[in-house]
Amino acid sequence: MDALQVEQRIRSILGKILDADLRSVNPDAHIMEDLGADSWQYLEFRNDLETAFRITVPDSEVDRLSTLRSCAALVSELLVPQSSGGQSADDEAGWQRKGKWRGGTCMGADGALYTDLEIGMAMTGRNHLAESPLMKFVGELRWNHISDFTGIPSRKLCDETGERLYATFFYVETRFPRETPLAAFGENDRFTVVSTLKSFGNSILDGYHFFYPAGWPEERKVPLLNGKQALEMGIPYVRTSNIFVKMLQGASWLKKSRPAHKGMDDIPRLAEVPDSYAKIKQADGDDRFRPPPEGYTCLTPETAKIEYAIEPDRDLNGVGLLYFANYPMILDIAERRCLREKILLPLSEEMIDLRTLCHRESAYLGNAHQSDSIEVWIDVWMENPFLTGHPAPEMSPVRLFLNYRMFRRSDGRKILVSTAEKVVFGKTLEEAGLLEPLERLAATSRSSGSD
């Protein structure tokens, strides 16, 4: 393949990613500054180049992907056969590989991870199974899954220069059926968790954790394709997407990278970037994943803004990053203050204690230093049966819909967008004393709509 053919193919690859015709673009145009590629598209471009040309772009040469001309020159060089080098998998003594049970977990021949889970006190909160401990559990499953494929413990994941990498989460979706939300499960309830894992270009990971009741027949505990299948079966699930980063200036500056371990090639491949990437881009732009459903009354005419001071001994993980699993806890703390003080129908402490999660999507956009503080912006809606013509409003559950944005105070950078659906578990609107207030708000809403 000559230099002109290489450049033409590069234009085609990049044009598909940017959804643009690049045939007449100056070859010295900068891919990010002039053509508008963002950091995710730049990463996708690198992965697609490697796949298309069957090459590996070393981290030390990544800066040469800056223009079409320099990129074509680099690819042409890498197309020349080179001696095989690279880093071998670091098999630590005693580290178990596929098919071996380790602490109630086994990686099957299908590449899925199977884990026996009995909910203990450590996974419960004020109202049975709690979200942050659940996130810590699935985070640990993801580390174990990566380790089983690569053959090394998580602390030894590194790039080709030997720098430590972290499989940081950029998207998480947690979904429990409305009939059996998070609080429907408590101490000593048991599951078989089936975890899937796929990779895009050794840089992006995506997969699901399906929570099958322990009593189900073993042949029915299988890896599913997506969350829709799980929801149709009434199976709770958590979807998690990761990207590998290294710390350049602590928690404030993280740079994308990828592991150099050969075992990463054993992870099943994704043909395209997972749609979770598009989801977080949309959520970042819209400041939410989706609007509230019809029939919900807004309880925050003005967005509630709650300040939160980071507690290093509670909120950070072992490497000094704000732990992804603690973001929901921070939201819950801010949310409690909001529901108590800042909405049109403040909830009692009993009602606040009983709220539990049905569905949450979160876009992790950044991190924060331990000396920083956070501001959480919250918008709250409540399902209103008087807006939908519900035949028995007194029997309606107390359902909440919430949109959150989280900013670090030092520079105002947005570090999280999240949308959640919750229910006050086991209580009706009548029991919560909310029937008359909601009826008045519905009347006001109809009156305003007719003016």
pLDDT in tens, 167-199: 899 999 999 999 999 999 999 999 999 999 999
Question: Does residue 244 lie in a domain region?
Answer: yes
- Residues facing 113 on adjacent strands: 107, 195
Domain membership flag for residue 92: no
The answer on 275 and 293 residing in a single domain is: no
Q: Is residue 85 part of a domain?
A: no
Listed residue (1, 4, 17, 18) closest to 53, CA to CA: 1
pLDDT digits (tens, 9 = 90+) for 286-299: 999 999 999 999 99
Q: Is residue 90 part of a domain?
A: no
Q: Is residue 133 situated within a structural domain?
A: yes
Please say if the pLDDT value at position 240 is more than 60. yes
Q: What is the pTM of this model?
A: 0.84
249 and 149 housed in the same domain: yes
Give the model's confidence band at 253: pLDDT under 50 very low, under 70 low, under 90 confident, else very high: low
Structure confidence at residue 80 as a pLDDT band (50, 70, 90):
low
Total domains in the fold of the chain: 3
- Dist CA 200 CA 265 (whole Å): 10
**How do beta strands 373-383 and 397-408 pair?**
antiparallel
Task: Look at residue 92 in the predicted model and tell me its pLDDT.
Answer: 34
CATH code for the domain of 292: 3.10.129.10
Looking at residue 383, its amino acid is E
Domain membership of residue 231 (yes or no) is: yes
Asked whether the beta carbons of 186 and 127 are under 8 A apart, the reply is no
Say whether both 191 and 238 belong to one domain: yes
Same-domain status, 291 and 419: yes
Among 52, 62, 57, smallest CA distance to 10 is for 52
Residue 91 lies in a domain: no
Q: How far lies 86's CA from each of 251, 330, 408, 415, 451, in Å?
A: 29, 41, 39, 35, 71
At which residue do the structure tokens 């884990």 appear?
Answer: 115
- 235 lies in which domain range? 99-279
Q: Which of 244, 279, 314 is the last residue of a domain?
A: 279
Predicted pLDDT of residue 213: 94
Domain assignment present for 312: yes
123 or 57, higher pLDDT: 123
Are 57 and 162 in a shared domain? no
For 278-334, the DSSP string reads HHHHHHHHHTSSSPPPTTEEES-SS-EEEEEE--HHHHB-TTSSB-GGGHHHHHHHH
- The percentage of the chain sitting over the pLDDT mark of 90, rounded to a whole number, equals 63
pLDDT band at 90 (very low <50, low <70, confident <90, very high): very low
Q: Considering only residues 385 and 261, tell me which one the structure prediction assigns the higher pLDDT.
A: 385
Residues in the chain: 451
Angstrom distance (rounded) from CA 298 to CA 379: 8
Average the pLDDT over 289-311 and give the result.
96
| Per-residue model confidence (pLDDT) at position 179 | 92
Residues 35 and 170 in one domain: no
**Is residue 142 pLDDT above 60, yes or no?**
yes
- The residue assigned the tokens 């989280």 is 406
- For residues 153 and 270, membership in a common domain is answered with yes
